[in-house]
Structure 1
């Protein structure tokens, strides 16, 4: 039986990606605001260390989304470092061991203005999105979105 190799990630200087990673077995990667602050601090450290620019983000209890630009073409190295560092810190904080993230992070190259615009909507609406992704966002959910602290939505 032939093994399936994972696809090669396209990385180059100045590329922008939609990055997403989910908790192992869809378990929370953020248990409380302390975890979210810790993750944001770790992201800031990643940006300084690897030169990554985060254009937008949203933290959901069991996953995160971000649009990240890599002036040095080093996405895998940067996000790998981020997830390893955050896992170590999360595990230490909660007295646990083992994996936090489910497999490899996903990264979609953002290559057109149209996709970039839909990405902004997709990421920022994530906390209030109805199950039917084509349904309108009710007014009460729009209010929840305005009050949601853990995204770059203003």
Structure 2
């Protein structure tokens, strides 16, 4: 019997989903678009806020807080929608995810900064960096912080993380971006350095 997981409705969670056997299930531009469509589709009916995301070729990270519905419900709907799309597009049979999603409560302002920075730094913390500059990785929310003139999906709130920057840092988006670029982070999920081919750019 699967134990039901309880989530604090007032907290953000670091959520990670991996491909089964670490397979690359988000390896093309169309895969990335379909994953984003899944989040947009679910958000339209079951609102949530995301502070940071990064889609890699065999897994993805998000820092998320549901507004009304449970985290389990939202993640189940997102992953089911993407799985159906993947199976239809590739004629795939069987599961595509390694297991149920990893979710770790992020309970303090400082932890939100650390986890969001870790998420944003994923493309350069692989064994072989996927890009030379984080702003060049298109499947992450980092470029949307770097350039606030870029349109963002409705679930992204770009105001919270900069406001959490401690002294002597300024509480600005630029200061937050520099924080991400300067400090290498480790979080509970980080048990290894990923070995993977980069997704299509």
- TM-score, normalising length: structure 2: 0.65
- SS of 1:123's partner is helix
| 1:127 corresponds to | 123
Residue 152 (1) aligns with residue 148 (2): no
Kept in 2, the 8 Å contact 1:54–1:67? The answer is yes
Ranked by relative contact order (alpha carbons within 8 Å, sequence separation 6 or more), the top structure is: 1
Q: CA deviation at 1:6?
A: 6.2
Structure 2 unaligned residues grouped into runs of 5+: 144-201
Quickly say closer, same or farther: Cα 1:7–1:118, change in 2 above 3 A. Answer: farther
Distance, in Å, in 1 between the alignment partners of 2:69 and 2:39 is 17
Quickly say closer, same or farther: Cα 1:51–1:145, change in 2 above 3 A. Answer: same
Distance, in Å, in 2 between the alignment partners of 1:143 and 1:32 is 20
| 1:103 corresponds to | 99
| 2:62 corresponds to | 66
Q: CA deviation at 1:146?
A: 1.9
Q: CA deviation at 1:13?
A: 2.9
| 2:112 corresponds to | 116
- SS of 1:28's partner is coil
- TM-score, normalising length: structure 1: 0.84
Q: CA deviation at 1:44?
A: 0.7
Quickly say closer, same or farther: Cα 1:125–1:6, change in 2 above 3 A. Answer: farther
| 1:83 corresponds to | 79
Residue 26 (1) aligns with residue 22 (2): yes
RMSD value over aligned CA atoms?
A: 1.9
Per-residue CA deviations over 1:89-115 (Å, capped at 9, x if unaligned) read 111011111111111100111100111
Where does structure 1 differ by over 3 angstroms across 4 or more consecutive aligned residues? 5-8, 140-144
Q: CA deviation at 1:21?
A: 0.6
Distance, in Å, in 1 between the alignment partners of 2:2 and 2:114 is 26
Distance, in Å, in 2 between the alignment partners of 1:111 and 1:33 is 34
Distance, in Å, in 1 between the alignment partners of 2:4 and 2:36 is 28
Kept in 1, the 8 Å contact 2:131–2:137? The answer is no
Would you say how many aligned residue pairs link Structure 1 and Structure 2? Answer: 142
Which one has a larger percent strand, Structure 1 or Structure 2? 1
